[in-house]
Amino acid sequence: MNPALRDLIALQDLELKIVQLQKQLADIPSQIQSLQEELQKIQAAHQQRLARVKELANRRRILEGEVDMLRSKLSRLKDQLMSVKTNKEYTAMLHEIQMAEDNIRKEEDKILDIMEEAEEMEKDLKASEQEMRKRTAELQESINKANESIPALESELARLHTDKAELEARIDGDLLSQYRRIAEVRKGIAMAEAKDELCSVCHVRIRPQVYADLLRSDTIHYCDSCSRILFCRNNG
């Protein structure tokens, strides 16, 4: 194979690796942000469960306090019942006692509902806490790995840039300029392998004479369709 072609192929491989590494580095901040956002959501959901458990406990205490007051009122009403003088007063007092007892039952039913919900929430809280700890550790590990990968990627990128500069210095200036022009309009792909009489990039058939020349000579040819520089791996 023409040494110049070999260098251009190596140059394209290097540049594609550089683009890939640059993308990896550019993506790391958004990856870390996404991981941190997921971590915050998990922790926020856990805090909401904790808040709900506390809210239920506080609501239960309030209701129990109200029941205690209703029971005290009921006790006073029953004491007063003994001292009423008329049937009308007695009937009115019985009505008040009945209302107090009904209110106590209603509040106690609310307390039971709260106790049931709290019990379920406690079970859910234990399970979610275990899952939160596990997922938090996983996310934090991913965040740490992403941060730790940056120096190695930057070092590898610097090495590739050095190799690229050394490689460019060996390539004829005019040929390198032509390579650059093609790469600029072809999304960074200036080289195309000729295989089975086809351009492997645009898949257009290569003229038989050109393909035969690629197989047996070091002449540089361009694809008639996409204008990329053709090379054949079977040729040296």
**Structure confidence by residue, pLDDT tens digits, 32-55:** 999 999 889 888 888 888 898 899
**Structure confidence by residue, pLDDT tens digits, 140-190:** 999 999 999 999 999 999 999 999 999 999 999 999 999 999 999 998 899
**Amino acid 20: pLDDT:** 93
Residue 235 has pLDDT above 60, yes or no: no
Q: Please report, for the chain, the start and end positions of each structural domain, with discontinuous segments joined by +.
A: 3-171, 177-231
What is the rounded CA–CA span in Å between residue 164 and residue 156?
A: 12
Mean pLDDT, all residues of the chain:
90
β 198-199/221-222 pair status? unpaired
**Structure confidence by residue, pLDDT tens digits, 79-104:** 888 888 888 888 998 999 999 999 99
CATH class given for the domain over 3-171: mainly alpha
Tokens of 104: 């106590």
For residue 166, count other CB atoms closer than 10 A to its CB: 10
For residue 214, count other CB atoms closer than 10 A to its CB: 23
Host H or E run for residue 214 = helix 208-216
pTM above 0.75, yes or no: no
User: Which burial class, exposed, middle or buried, applies to 201 when counting CB atoms under 10 A from its CB (0-12, 13-18, 19+)?
Assistant: middle
* Cβ-contact 187, 202 below 8 angstroms: no
